């Protein structure tokens, strides 16, 4: 080999520096890329079009809507429908708009989320780390609960709430949401706590920490990501709930979704499409904001929790 370097190179390896070297270049506009990006754009358009129509319509006045060009941008932008949806739209005798439903929903969602996450995380922790007698049986029952259709339980719960005097009240609905969130949240927390190294738990026991000490000082600080996931699940689930809201509450404590339905489906008078669109967007805003805000937190939480052994 060393000899060939001093001789003139053989014709097959005429100039070794001219051959391929380094990263293989890729064409930006290839058939593959066109296909992928084309499909993605088409799907995005398909999903965004209804949203576009809603936003555009909510910014138009009624005369403009009657022209029938639903895709056309508003000639004259007006926020009147938004104001009306929030504070003036009528449901039955009340004419104070969606704001009442919004605050009802807040008062239902916040305690439900806090209560269900608190209980479920302790449940999951106990199931994952303190293998008490009958833990598997308890867990099986809990998981089984996740597969029972809600409709089956509606009437028994009505009776139960009536007996304990919470039927029709806001706290009754909070209780129902907390109970129905339990199976899936417990499963979520149990699986997460099981994935944490068992030796941490053992070390904490040797260090003399008890059930609550380990939970609050060791487990919770390591579990920010799963708490965020549970929060996203619960906030969106409870905020979007319609069925329980309509069954277990009375008109003055109706959640936002139920009130939205009553506004949009009211039969008397003219159909105010712009107000309906604005009301719908307002109702959907909360889950949307949760997704945007906690999505970032979620990623950061995962990164912060990643301390490898």
Partner 1 sequence: MDPSISIKNLCLSFGSVEVLNDLNLDVKEGEFLVLLGSSGCGKSTLLNCIAGLLDITDGQIFISNKNVTWEEPSDRGIGMVFQSYALYPQMTVAGNLSFGLKNAGVPKAEIEERVARAADVLQIEPLLKRKPGQLSGGQRQRVAIGRALVRDVEVFLFDEPLSNLDAKLRADLRVEIKQLHQRLRNTMIYVTHDQIEAMTLADRIAIMRDGKILQLASSNEIYNRPANKYVAEFIGSPTMNFFEGTIESGTTLKLANDGPSFSLSGYEFIDPAAVNGAAWFGIRPEHIASGTEAEKSPIQLEGEVELVEPLGSDTLARVNTSGSLIWIRMDGQAKVVSGDKVLIGFDPERANLFDKSTEKRL
Told to check if 213 binds partner 1 by CB under 8 A, we report yes
Told to check if 135 binds partner 1 by CB under 8 A, we report no
Nearest alpha carbon to residue 88 among 307, 272, 297, 303: 272
Told to check if 232 binds partner 1 by CB under 8 A, we report no
Interacting residue with partner 1 among 9, 92, 165, 197 (CB under 8 A)? 197
Task: Report the half-sphere exposure of 45 (CA within 13 A, side-chain side).
Answer: 6
**H or E segment and range at residue 38:** helix 31-58
- Return the number of the residue (9 or 197) whose C-beta is nearest partner 1: 197
Interacting residue with partner 1 among 19, 63, 221, 269 (CB under 8 A)? 221
- Return the number of the residue (206 or 270) whose C-beta is nearest partner 1: 206
Q: How far is the CB of 80 from partner 1 (least distance, A)?
A: 51
Rama region for 306: left / alpha / beta (φ>0; ψ in -120 to 50; rest) = beta
Told to check if 200 binds partner 1 by CB under 8 A, we report yes
Told to check if 217 binds partner 1 by CB under 8 A, we report yes
Instruction: Give the C-alpha separation, 88 to 86, whole Å.
Output: 6
Told to check if 12 binds partner 1 by CB under 8 A, we report no
Nearest alpha carbon to residue 91 among 286, 246, 236, 243: 246
Told to check if 194 binds partner 1 by CB under 8 A, we report no
- Return the number of the residue (142 or 218) whose C-beta is nearest partner 1: 218
Nearest alpha carbon to residue 223 among 188, 172, 258: 188
Told to check if 137 binds partner 1 by CB under 8 A, we report no
Told to check if 218 binds partner 1 by CB under 8 A, we report yes
Told to check if 205 binds partner 1 by CB under 8 A, we report yes
**H or E segment and range at residue 180:** helix 170-195
Told to check if 209 binds partner 1 by CB under 8 A, we report yes
**Burial class of residue 119 (count of CB atoms within 10 Å of its CB; 0-12, 13-18, 19+):** middle
* Site track for partner 1 across 233-252, x = CB under 8 A: --------------------
> What is the token pair recorded at 186?
């417990």
Told to check if 1 binds partner 1 by CB under 8 A, we report no
Instruction: Give the C-alpha separation, 62 to 55, whole Å.
Output: 14
Interacting residue with partner 1 among 199, 268, 270, 303 (CB under 8 A)? 199
Interacting residue with partner 1 among 149, 156, 269, 309 (CB under 8 A)? 309
- Return the number of the residue (161 or 218) whose C-beta is nearest partner 1: 218
**Beta-bridge mates of residue 94:** 91
Told to check if 207 binds partner 1 by CB under 8 A, we report yes
CA dihedral over 245, 246, 249, 250, signed as positive or negative: positive
Owner of token pair 């239902």:
108
Report the interface residues with partner 1, using CB under 8 A. Answer: 197, 199-200, 202-209, 213, 217-218, 221-222, 305, 307, 309
């Amino acid at each position: 080999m060393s000899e060939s370097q001093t001789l003139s190179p053989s014709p097959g390896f005429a100039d070794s520096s001219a051959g391929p070297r380094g990263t293989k270049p890729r064409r930006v506009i290839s058939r593959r890329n066109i296909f992928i990006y084309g499909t993605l754009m088409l799907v995005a358009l398909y999903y965004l079009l209804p949203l576009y129509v809603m936003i555009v319509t909510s910014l138009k006045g009624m005369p403009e809507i009657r022209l029938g060009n639903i895709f056309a941008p508003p000639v004259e932008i007006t926020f009147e429908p938004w104001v009306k949806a929030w504070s003036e739209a009528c449901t039955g005798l009340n004419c104070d708009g969606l704001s009442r439903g919004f605050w009802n929903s807040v008062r239902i969602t916040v305690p439900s989320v806090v209560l269900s996450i608190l209980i479920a995380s302790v449940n999951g922790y106990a199931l994952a780390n303190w293998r008490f007698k009958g833990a598997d049986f308890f867990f099986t029952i809990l998981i089984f609960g996740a597969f029972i259709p809600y409709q089956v339980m509606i009437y028994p719960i009505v009776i139960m709430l009536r007996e304990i005097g919470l039927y029709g009240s806001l706290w009754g609905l909070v209780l129902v949401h907390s109970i129905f969130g339990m199976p899936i949240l417990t499963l979520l927390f149990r699986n997460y706590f099981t994935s944490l190294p068992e030796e941490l738990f053992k070390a904490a026991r040797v260090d003399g920490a008890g059930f609550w000490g380990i939970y609050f000082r060791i487990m919770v600080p390591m579990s920010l990501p799963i708490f965020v996931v549970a929060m996203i699940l619960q906030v969106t689930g409870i905020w979007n709930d319609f069925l329980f809201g309509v069954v277990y509450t009375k008109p003055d404590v109706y959640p936002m979704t139920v009130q939205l339905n009553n506004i949009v489906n009211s039969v008397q008078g003219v159909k105010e499409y712009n107000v309906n669109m604005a009301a719908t967007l307002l109702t959907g805003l909360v889950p949307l904001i949760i997704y945007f805000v906690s999505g970032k937190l979620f990623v950061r939480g995962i990164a912060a929790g990643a301390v490898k052994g």
